[in-house]
């Protein structure tokens, strides 16, 4: 039967009409004619097999049903047809992935939307602890991630490394996803993984200035010390030190404006004199060390410490002019050009 799929429709009709035809016969990899037809996006052949009454929920060697294969390949028409034919929506393969996992992992937003409309399970975990949301942000599929978030996916669930969707999104510069999660209060901005790395650390390490700006605006702690790779060593350092040793002056400027202390930079340098800043970075540090902190900024830091997370939402309730609210919520932070 599998070999006939690439022949004419007439040949398939003859085979399906034969009394000895086993429509659910499986290969040595446990794949049926339906698996092959779906994987090849052979719509007419799939429809013929479904009308002939094939078992839509048989699994192959990897535990994949035809629905999972269609979702993995992004074949929306086939996904819809298989669901109507009785495919189990939340069936799992050997790694615990459902059709929604496959679609989210490969970035097929239309398939994700279709599966969600059928009430696919949002929070199912694979053997690695991955939900569909975690898989979509890990692979930079922001459109799929946003669909899952709008549907109510839990952004606080962590994978086996302790990383949340926010950390993956911060690392991969998915600005829209980060903003949605923070604005909904779905996650704590300072939540760390198994190694203690926070979303801010991930964003700084990868030079994602727009994500850093959002995290600052929503109240993340800019003064905490973490262990990070600086140079070729894994050392305790602050967020500001990481930004400077990574030569991200645009990010360093935002951190200083949000209250990160330049006076603490000498700690890492004293303990590890081999870690030398680039000359233009050292010049930037010296210039800012000589600049006094304004009273406005000191007040803003106090307000930030008191209100903590969800700063933009909380500030808007204060009886203050809009321009003052915007200033207190660090709405004036802008991505700066990183010039040497």
On the CB side of 307, how many CA atoms lie within 13 Å of its CA?
A: 23
**What local confidence, expressed as pLDDT, does residue 55 receive?**
94
> How do the domains of the chain map onto residue ranges?
1-99, 165-340
**What local confidence, expressed as pLDDT, does residue 338 receive?**
43
Q: Using N-to-C axis directions, what is the helix angle for 175-183 and 142-150, rounded to 10°? A: 20
**What local confidence, expressed as pLDDT, does residue 263 receive?**
63
Contact criterion met (CB below 8 Å) for 194 and 164 = no
**What local confidence, expressed as pLDDT, does residue 337 receive?**
42
Report the phi/psi class of residue 140: left, alpha or beta, with left for phi > 0 and alpha for psi in -120 to 50. Answer: left
Which pTM value belongs to this model? 0.83
Class of the CATH-defined domain 1-99: mainly alpha
**What local confidence, expressed as pLDDT, does residue 105 receive?**
97
Q: How far apart are the first and last CA of the chain?
A: 66
**Run means of pLDDT, 10 residues per run, the chain, 340 residues:** 54 64 76 91 91 92 96 97 96 96 98 97 94 97 97 93 94 96 86 86 94 91 74 74 87 88 57 59 71 78 78 78 79 54
**What local confidence, expressed as pLDDT, does residue 175 receive?**
96
**What is the fold of 165-340?**
1.25.40
């Amino acid at each position: 039967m599998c070999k006939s799929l690439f022949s004419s429709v007439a040949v398939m009709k003859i085979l399906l009409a034969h009394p000895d035809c086993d429509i659910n016969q499986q290969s040595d990899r446990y794949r049926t004619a339906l698996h092959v037809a779906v994987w090849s996006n052979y719509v007419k052949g799939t429809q013929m097999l479904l009308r002939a009454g094939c078992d839509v929920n048989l699994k192959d060697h990897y535990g994949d049903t035809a629905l999972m294969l269609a979702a993995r390949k992004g074949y929306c028409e086939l996904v819809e047809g298989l669901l109507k034919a009785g495919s189990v929506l939340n069936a799992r393969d050997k790694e615990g992935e459902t059709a929604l996992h496959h679609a989210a992992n490969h970035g097929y937003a239309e398939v994700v939307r279709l599966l969600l409309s059928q009430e696919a399970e949002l929070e199912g975990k694979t053997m690695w602890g991955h939900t569909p949301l975690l898989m979509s942000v890990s692979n930079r599929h922001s459109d799929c991630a946003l669909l899952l978030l709008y549907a109510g996916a839990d952004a606080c669930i962590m994978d086996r490394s302790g990383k949340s969707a926010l950390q993956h999104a911060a690392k991969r510069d998915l600005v829209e996803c980060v903003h949605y999660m923070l604005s909904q209060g779905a996650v704590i901005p300072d939540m760390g993984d198994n190694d203690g790395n926070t979303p801010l650390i991930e964003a700084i390490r990868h030079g994602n200035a727009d994500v850093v700006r959002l995290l600052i605006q929503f109240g993340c702690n800019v003064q905490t010390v973490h262990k990070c790779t600086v140079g070729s060593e894994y050392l305790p350092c602050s967020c500001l030190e990481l930004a400077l040793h990574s030569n991200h002056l645009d990010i360093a400027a935002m951190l200083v404006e949000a209250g990160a202390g330049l006076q603490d930079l000498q700690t890492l340098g004293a303990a590890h004199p081999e870690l030398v800043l680039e000359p233009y970075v050292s010049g930037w540090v010296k210039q800012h060390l000589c600049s006094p902190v304004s009273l406005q900024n000191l007040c803003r830091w106090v307000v930030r410490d008191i209100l903590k997370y969800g700063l933009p939402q909380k500030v808007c309730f204060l009886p203050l002019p809009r321009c003052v609210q915007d200033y207190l919520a660090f709405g004036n932070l802008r991505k700066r050009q990183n010039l040497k």
